[in-house]
Amino acid sequence: MIYQRYIPAHELFSAQLELLMQNGQLPTVAAHLIGVAAALAMFWPFLDPTAMLLWAGAFLALLLLRSLHMSRALSSHAYRIAPRWVYAWLVLGSAATGTIWSAVYIYAAHHVPITMQYTFLLLILMITAISVGFSVILREYFIVYLFTAIWPIAWWSLANYWEQPYNLVLGLVLLAFCALLVVICDRMYRSFRNMISLNWEREAMSRELGELTHSLRERNRQLRDARQQLTCLANIDELTGLGNRRMANSALNDEINRARRTGACLSLVMLDVDCFKAYNDTYGHPAGDRVLQRLADLMQRATTRAGELVARFGGEEFILILPGACAETALRTAERLRQLVEEEAIPHAGSPQFGVITVSQGLLTLEPGTDAQPGELVSRADQALYRAKQLGRNRVVVAGPSPSADIGAAPPG
């Protein structure tokens, strides 16, 4: 994202149009309606009522058209789509309104008493002064009104200075008044532009900061997901989808500490695929990988209790961590797993005894109160597994207090 410090010229122009129409629509109509009502009240005894009513109706129609134009431009966002067109109509409406006031004054100057003439002039000046407050948002909009409403009256007064005793002074004062309003208008216009620019800059900064915050949150989420993914990659075996040796060591250490605190049993099973090298030599390594994947599914089916973990310890060797399982329960789990593998009947021509894939297992149970390290437990379970291999494979050997006291469990039949 590139921060843009200053508002573009076309956006500033559109913002000025929008602000003018939002803030000038109601005051414009209200001020001129008051002027029309006051003019009718002052000139009713001196001018033709029919002509005055026609004038008032035409003036009201002009005000209504100007108001409708502003409303339509705001609702359709025409000030953004076609700002020059909206601007032209606004200036044209302002010029028409100012011209009507000056024309009425010049006409009334020949038909009404001088006091009424000057009172009407004060009314026009009051409307002009009120217009300064909202019209200077767009400088040209106000200047056009000023030079169509006041400027003609000033020059008419100078040109006809002999008709009224104060026309010369009045004309000069009106010219000075116009000059003063132009200066005031220019300064207020610049202040409005600066205000719009500052507001735009603050909004742009807030929008950029909001987008940046959203981007940072999204980036943090991506980083968090990436960390989780890396953690999974570091702890999950890619081939089988089981935990790897790193996860197994960490989980075993946690379960040993928990067993010490709670006094619960903890069982550990080391499992190895019988004659797996011969299987790979006979069927190829891709077939061996598929066997490991099928065995992983069987191990997960055999370990259904909460907290039990199956991990690939390396090669064709797996580890089962069974928290809360005593020796008898763990033996049933291991035996059930052995039977599931045998019933799967995966052909293995290289197996000298069984002709199908079988597994050997070494089981170790950590009794409550026993103090041992994870490496020691894995070593003893591995020794029991080695003993199962020596006894003929396809069996579970329960590790005793010492390697010489291991208990072999031969397969049935």
For residue range 38-93, list pLDDT tens digits in order: 999 999 888 899 999 999 999 999 999 999 999 999 999 898 899 899 999 999 99
Is 316 considered catalytic here?
Answer: yes
In a domain, 258, yes or no: yes
Same domain for 191 and 84?
yes
pLDDT at 1 over 60: no
In a domain, 55, yes or no: yes
Give the CATH number for residue 320.
Answer: 3.30.70.270
Same domain for 265 and 197?
no
Domain final position from 208, 235, 263: 208
pLDDT at 358 over 90: yes
pLDDT at 231 over 50: yes
In a domain, 240, yes or no: no
Domain final position from 161, 189, 208: 208
Q: Of the ranges 67-76, 231-240, 295-304, which one carries the lowest mean pLDDT score?
A: 231-240
Domain containing residue 396: 245-409
Indicate the Cα dihedral angle 37, 41, 44, 47, nearest 10°: -70
**Residue 402 pLDDT level (bands cut at 50, 70, 90):** low
Q: Of the ranges 1-5, 270-274, 294-298, which one carries the lowest mean pLDDT score?
A: 1-5
pLDDT single digits (tens) 94-133: 999 999 999 999 998 888 888 898 899 999 998 888 887 7
- 29, 59 contact by CB (below 8 A): no
Average pLDDT, the chain: 86
Same domain for 145 and 267?
no
18, 255, 308, 316: which is the annotated catalytic residue?
316
Please state the domain count of the chain: 2
In a domain, 77, yes or no: yes
pLDDT at 410 over 70: no
**pLDDT the model gives residue 229:** 67
Same domain for 288 and 404?
yes
Same domain for 271 and 169?
no
| Exposure class string for 107-146: b at 16+ Cβ within 10 A, else e | ebbeebeeebbeebbebbbebbebbeebbbbbbebbbbbb
CA 314 to chain centre: 45
Same domain for 169 and 266?
no
Handedness of CA 187, 188, 191, 196 (dihedral sign): negative
Domain final position from 147, 182, 208: 208
Same domain for 185 and 288?
no
**pLDDT the model gives residue 311:** 93
Same domain for 75 and 193?
yes
If 0-12 CB within 10 Å is exposed, 13-18 middle and 19+ buried, where does residue 227 land?
exposed
**pLDDT the model gives residue 411:** 53
**pLDDT the model gives residue 196:** 73
Q: Of the ranges 6-20, 84-98, 352-366, which one carries the lowest mean pLDDT score?
A: 6-20
User: Average pLDDT in the 179-200 region?
Assistant: 80
In a domain, 221, yes or no: no
Same domain for 34 and 159?
yes
Structure tokens at 5: 């410090």
**Residue 207 pLDDT level (bands cut at 50, 70, 90):** confident
In a domain, 235, yes or no: no
Q: What is the 3-state secondary structure (H, E, C) of the chain?
A: CCCCCCCCHHHHHHHHHHHHHHHHHHHHHHHHHHHHHHHHHHHCCCCCHHHHHHHHHHHHHHHHHHHHHHHHHHHCCHHHHCHHHHHHHHHHHHHHHHHHHHHHHHHHCCCCCHHHHHHHHHHHHHHHHHHHHHHCCCHHHHHHHHHHHCHHHHHHHHHCCCCCCCHHHHHHHHHHHHHHHHHHHHHHHHHHHHHHHHHHHHHHHHHHHHHHHHHHHHHHHHHHHHHHHHHHHHHECCCCCCECHHHHHHHHHHHHHHHHHHCCCEEEEEEEECCHHHHHHHHCHHHHHHHHHHHHHHHHHHCCCCCCEEEEEECCEEEEEEECCCHHHHHHHHHHHHHHHHHHCCECCCCCCCCECCEEEEEEEECCCCCCCHHHHHHHHHHHHHHHHHCCCCCEEECCCCHHHCEEECCCC
Same domain for 196 and 105?
yes
In a domain, 184, yes or no: yes
In a domain, 224, yes or no: no
pLDDT at 409 over 70: no
Q: For residue 271, which of 326, 327, 324, 338 has the smallest C-alpha distance?
A: 338
pLDDT at 403 over 50: no
d(CA 110, CA 43): 12
Phi, psi of 360 (to 5 degrees): -115, 145
Same domain for 200 and 311?
no
Same domain for 249 and 198?
no
